[in-house]
Structure 1
Amino acid sequence: MPSALPDGDVAPPDGALPGSALTGLGKRPFGVYVHVPFCATRCGYCDFNTYTAAELASSPASPQSWLDGLRTELALAARVLGTPPKADTVFVGGGTPSLLGAAGLTDVLDAVRDTVGLAPDAEVTTESNPESTGPAFFAQIRAAGYTRISLGMQSAAPHVLAVLDRTHTPGRAAEAAREARRAGFDHVNLDLIYGTPGETASDLAASLDAVLEAGVDHVSAYALIIEEGTALARRIKRGDLPAPDDDVLADRYEQTDKALAAAGLHWYEVSNWATEPKAWCRHNLGYWHGADWWGAGPGAHSHVGGVRWWNVKHPARYAAELAKGNSPAAARETLTREDRHLERVMLELRLVDGLPIDALSEEAQKEARLAAEEGLLDKAAMAGVNGRFGRCVLTFTGRLLADAVVRRLT
């Protein structure tokens, strides 16, 4: 959940949505995102909307006031949506949700159940920091109804973790993944970051080996992005560390893809790999396919029927607005047809199933065919069956240049 919020139109105090946004509600997948804004420490690369205890020391914000606000916002969601569809997916992110403990995460899921409701086969994910988990933690949240765990590993190399200001010990993330599997979680993800200054190909290989030995069914791997205003950005600006090199990042991506594919984890989104389709993250697929979701918590973003809004950032203001009976939304925007088309191309093109070519304008279809000739899009997928129903699917080279391909097709 990025710390910087965009500008937008004024959001109504009662959170009401236009009738057009509610049309078709329930016919599209519906998810709930819960943002937990608390962290024990601030990682040097992170620009998410998070706060340490020291940063909140002079504020009335607390986990309890946040939870009270969350319950109130979810009740508001149920009123605004009328008869809301039960959530197909829930994703508790942060921040560090595991700092709430098993009891706190149980309260979060109970709040969703009691307001919006859960579909019988709902996917329920929580992010967790390896150091704030253990066998009892996993057993309790599995019993509470969580079905999926996402653990922030980032690297198995101590010096890489040190550059990122990660506090967990090498090996702990993989052991936490094994503990989650033993607790009954069929779906466990490990996050990796590649391209950190000082990381070698051997470091990444060791991290990938540790991931595979943990037996997880899902891996997310992201190139390190240097965000303005972070401690890592300041270190690079001072010359203490080199900036990530694009050629090195491409090499690291190729190394990651080959190692995971050889072990039976195949890409289904540019930065995500899984053992089989039922291991794909359904919540994130909702984002990538432009579905509906309500984002609850400080700074959380929501989208329903082409209307997008985002909450105030600070936990104290978030709780205060809700205590006054107001929506915590800071602003919102109604997406134009052009906006929605751009986002569809940008997001669906990242998926292994790609984008239907007939979703593109005639001019963009010509560009797509040129991109296929250049090896950026899969020719066979473009042809489809008997020359019909073709799809734009990125090749490996296309994945490395995904942003450039998107620009050509929009």
Structure 2
Amino acid sequence: MIEPFAAVDLIRHKRDGGSLDTEEINWLISRYTSGYVGDEQMAAMAMAIFLNGMTRHEILDLTNAMIASGERLDYSNLGRPTSDKHSTGGVGDKITLPLMPLVASFEVAVPQLSGRGLGHTGGTLDKLESIPGWRAELTNEAMFAQLQELGGVICAAGAELAPADKKLYALRDITGTVEAIPLIASSIMSKKIAEGTGALVLDVKYGSGAFMKDLDRARELARTMVELGTDAGVNVSALLTNMNVPLGLAIGNANEVRESVEVLAGGGPADIVELTCALAREMLALAGQPDVDVEAHLKGGQAMDVWRKTIAAQGGDPDAPLPVPAESLEVRADRDGVLVAQDAYQFGVAAWRLGAGRARKEDPVVHSAGIDLAVKPGDAIKAGDLLWTLHAEDASRFAGALADLEGAWELAEPGTVFTAEPLIAEKITAE
């Protein structure tokens, strides 16, 4: 068979600022997935895209080509609308755990296909695997059955969902092209569109603990993804949310599950409740249920009922004790003051250093490891007050984590007036 294109010609064209047409992109992704186009050629293309960008049409073609590389799920027979959420990742971001059962309690199906953590950001599946017996891997048949019966599922994405993206994602990670917005957007949206949801809300984070440090870059990414979803026929919107400070008071795995259960019981930290409810309202509005009282379903226990049933359906025991650490270290204030800074990135790295995260995707996580915060920016503190507690299975890990936290927080003089940044900066919708 004579190939209609040559990879080197497409690379040169993109390198020189040209645009690729639909047939060229389809060929490139198909042949890369099959192995005909080599990693070194796709690395060169990724760098050309990083340097020169892509048009809206190119990004849509790239996304569609990655979707076409695998299976596409269809929920049209569920008998209820579907709505999903994707977060770009952060520190203490356990929002999926209370959000899925909250939205599902309104008879909207939530097929939440989630991932694992890497580096300073935690993974939803790692957190849930703190629960004894809970399993992340489900067949498509089991996932559909759980959505039909209970309305919600959190599980791992199947290997056949956008396999081209998995291959390209691994390549980007080692070639310095992770930050290319066309590649980020097509990566996220190819999986979410292939997942088959009818509505999607994007939680695009910005700040020190986020992938996108700069608000303008986060806004550009959000707009690109909203455009992609709209062009693909998905109801989609995005919230730009602040990740300069860790979300909630728990950073880790088992402790984040505990905090999520507190939210489902009607309590929990105010920022977790605020963001959970904001995303739930958006997901429900896109699914055809505007102006619902999501707070009432947290206070009334409806969301907790869904949580318990879905955990049990995946083999977990919602009443089982969660892992506890072998070693803990309290950090206390040495003077009076007002906490005015708490750098999310450095706290995330410290939790990773304690064992809560992984350096390589093959590494295990320590479910009991992490950090419990006792204070947040704006809190008045007295000398001797508890600031945070570090947890690990091995006390030798504390020194490295404490070093990571040097300069990660700031105590201002007593009486200092602190004004918190808004948690949700803005909402982006299809134009």
TM-score by length of 1: 0.28
TM-score by length of 2: 0.27
